[in-house]
Amino acid sequence: MIDQHGGNIDVARARHGGDGWIDLSTGINRRAYPIPPIPAEAWTMLPTAAAKAGLGQAAAQAYATTAAIVALPGAQAAIQLLPHLRPRGIARLLGPTYQDYGRVLRAAGWRVEQVADPAALVGADLALVVNPNNPDGRHHDPADLLALVGQVGLLVVDESFADAVPHLSLAPQAGRDGLLVLRSFGKFYGLAGVRLGFALGAAPLIEHLSALAGPWPVSGAAIAIGCVALADAAWTAATIARLAQEAPRLDALAIGAGWSVVGGTALFRLYHTPDAAAAQERLARHAIWSRRFGYSAHWLRLGLPGDRAEWARLAAAVTD
Amino acid sequence: MIDQHGGNIDVARARHGGDGWIDLSTGINRRAYPIPPIPAEAWTMLPTAAAKAGLGQAAAQAYATTAAIVALPGAQAAIQLLPHLRPRGIARLLGPTYQDYGRVLRAAGWRVEQVADPAALVGADLALVVNPNNPDGRHHDPADLLALVGQVGLLVVDESFADAVPHLSLAPQAGRDGLLVLRSFGKFYGLAGVRLGFALGAAPLIEHLSALAGPWPVSGAAIAIGCVALADAAWTAATIARLAQEAPRLDALAIGAGWSVVGGTALFRLYHTPDAAAAQERLARHAIWSRRFGYSAHWLRLGLPGDRAEWARLAAAVTD
């Protein structure tokens, strides 16, 4: 089944029945950061300027940047606001990539073009690169992307899957005019329900985005959790190390099933299968949910399983 | 001190020092709904379509409506999206009222006019009534507001403070074309940090708003909490009864201090004082924070204190 988004596990359940589904249809870490205690005031009070500044500082440290930062309810919220940041014009997306960019920009009256080569982005009013890319993991040297700044109206670099590859990140350069860097919190930390993400850029751009988002876009709980998690360098390092071992392990399972590796990131892998619909169906019979794409009859994307039991179930399912 | 918004208690603390502040600068209930257990999946997973539908059903029941509903991160989030719902034009606001309407619409290129008489709203591309109004509690018969539908491009009725006065609500009629009703969750339930509110209207309008907001605007925790709280009719009834007793009690304290009652709602009261700056300062010396308004040297708004100790401190402060 080809959904607009991964993660809609209730749809899989309705279609295939059964309980205990393992949702590998997203790139959300299944070994989530442990939820810290949440102070009562995080629920009862409007987030204060001080709380928001504290979260911004934690994010700045985690992302190694001195650029201006605004927290939003997910990187998705930044995508929703993009069309309103500049007068309508031509948007070029390096693709195929996360489809909501095209959908959101088109709905707001932008002309949207998908290009395959970064050089073809030049001249666009808004240019979008997801680095590393979803779903194929294609990645770009930050210096090459930086060279595009000034050659497009606004360069948006979505680093939703960059936590495990900090050397790819443009966050340290995000203060440059004409550059907007987006970060996701929920994917790497496994806390997508928290709804937290960040936009990094030059101060006037971030002030504009912040004015569009309003004074209290993220919850007090998101602020409390984000402050703790983003400051936990030990957890981050351990998670990067774990993912570096487990992504090849997932590839090995897939290759054993007769699939080939298209690419991927630390959090998900993209496989070429003989028949993606059949492969998805086979996994679904084991209550494992995967992701297909409308533009390919062969591509199947899998997130990394969480605990040992999930790995065992996946191993059994792919060789069924 | 005249802030853009109430609730920024850290600013009061920085200015006046001290600890243990009682924040009466907002209309947020200080006896909050108790936070129910939050399932782990609410943090880890993207909110599913089923979870969102469940929240919508709870809201529909609480607000006695069959209109389409979208949950947003606060009524504020709906305000932020209003300018993008229709082509730019003339917005008329029945005021004075919550100032963000004017600010957000102006920033998006709308011409904004404040009018004092509902009849003067006629002919606007977008007309806004807050019912009951913030800060003065002015309220309007729903039938009178309904008569405006069709005489303006879009009638927006902000019912952020209507929970205690359901007979004033247009939610049951929100399915009408040309009408958008906004509800706040955080104020009445005392959970402003949760960031939850709702927009109610005809299906195409709500679908448009939902497309602007994106697929996952509210957190899993907000959905879990909202589902429980909105279904708790006993708590709602008890809270309405308590507030009905306590608002006059606050008025009596104010009158004892030589102030007069301008108006208010169940959650806040607006007073005419000889000198609002001096009155705010006097309360601040007792670490009680209040709300002033740029357009009046006399108006001071107070939320209702929470427990017995807060009432005692306020009583001592106003007669200091």
Q: How far A214 CA sits from the closest chain B CA (Å)?
A: 6
Q: What is the mean pLDDT of residues B73-102?
A: 97
- Kindly report, residue by residue over A38-76, the tens digit of the pLDDT: 999 999 999 999 999 999 999 999 999 999 999 999 999
How many Cβ atoms from other residues are within 10 Å of residue A289's Cβ?
Answer: 27
For residue A289, give the H/E element and its range. Answer: strand A288-289
Report the pLDDT value the prediction gives residue A19, as an integer from 0 to 100: 85
CA distance B147 to chain A (A): 31
pLDDT, residue A59, reads 98
Is A290:A280 a contact under the CB 8 Å cutoff?
yes
Cα–Cα dist B225/A219, whole Å: 13
pLDDT at A14: 87
- Whether residue A218 is predicted with pLDDT greater than 90 in this model: the reply is yes
Q: Nearest C-alpha of chain B: how many angstroms from A29?
A: 9
pLDDT at A10 over 90: no
What b/e readout covers B241-252, taking b as 16+ CB neighbours within 10 angstroms? eebeebbeebbe
Assign A227 a pLDDT band (cuts: 50, 70, 90). very high
Report how far Cα A42 is from the mean position of its chain's Cα atoms: 26
- Which SS3 state, helix, strand or coil, does residue A165 take? coil
Q: What are residue A93's phi and psi, to 5 degrees?
A: -115, 130
Of B4, B193, B213, the CB nearest to A219: B193
**pLDDT at residue A123, as a whole number:** 98
Interface contact B44-A23, CB threshold 8 A: no
CA distance A313 to B27: 52
- Token pair in block for residue A214: 């309003």
Helix (H, G, I), strand (E, B) or coil at A288: strand
Nearest CB to B10; choose among A35, A50, A108: A50
User: Looking at the predicted structure, is the pLDDT value of residue A3 above 90?
Assistant: no
Closest Cα in chain B, distance from residue A141 (Å): 30
Q: What is the CA radius of gyration of chain A?
A: 19
**Angstrom distances, CA of residue A315 to CA of A5, A27, A279, A306:** 25, 19, 13, 13
Q: Which residues have CB under 8 Å from B38's CB, separation 6+?
A: B220, B221, B224, B225
User: A149 by DSSP, 3-state: which?
Assistant: strand
User: Nearest CB to B216: which of A35, A76, A220?
Assistant: A76
Q: What is the mean pLDDT of chain A?
A: 96
User: In this structure, how many other beta carbons lie within 10 angstroms of the beta carbon of residue B234?
Assistant: 7
| Residues of B in Cβ contact (< 8 Å) with A32 | 40, 43-44
pLDDT in tens, A270-308: 999 999 999 999 999 999 999 999 999 999 999 999 999
List CB contacts of A157: < 8 A, sequence separation 6 or more.
A129, A130, A131, A145, A170, A179, A180, A181, A182
What is the pLDDT at residue A85? 96
Pairing label, strands B90-94, B260-264:
unpaired
Cα–Cα distance measured from residue A318 to residue A26, given in angstroms and rounded to the nearest whole number: 18
Cβ-based neighbours of A208, under 8 Å, separated by 6 or more: A85
The full length of chain B comes to: 320
Q: pLDDT category, A15, cuts 50, 70, 90?
A: confident
Q: What is residue A105's three-state secondary structure?
A: helix
Where do we find the tokens 């802030």?
Answer: B3
**Residue B36 to residue A196: CA distance in whole angstroms:** 22
Nearest Cβ partner for A192 among B44, B195, B211 = B44
Q: Which residues of chain A are within 8 Å of residue B15 when distances are taken between CB atoms?
A: none
- A225 contacts on B by Cβ (under 8 Å): 43
- Cα–Cα nearest to A138, from A153, A118, A122: A118
pLDDT in tens, A77-131: 999 999 999 999 999 999 999 999 999 999 999 999 999 999 999 999 999 999 9
Asked whether the predicted pLDDT for residue B168 surpasses 80, the reply is yes
pLDDT, tens digit, for every residue of B18-51? 889 999 999 999 999 999 999 999 999 999 999 9
User: Which residues does residue B270 pair with via DSSP β-bridges, in sequence order?
Assistant: B263, B301
The answer to whether the CB atoms of B220 and A193 lie below 8 A apart is yes
Q: Give, to the nearest 10 degrees, the angle between helix B308-318 and helix B276-284.
A: 130
Which residue of B lies nearest to A22 if distances are taken between CA atoms? B45
- Above 80 in pLDDT, residue B248? yes
Residue from B248, B297, B306 nearest B276 by CA: B297
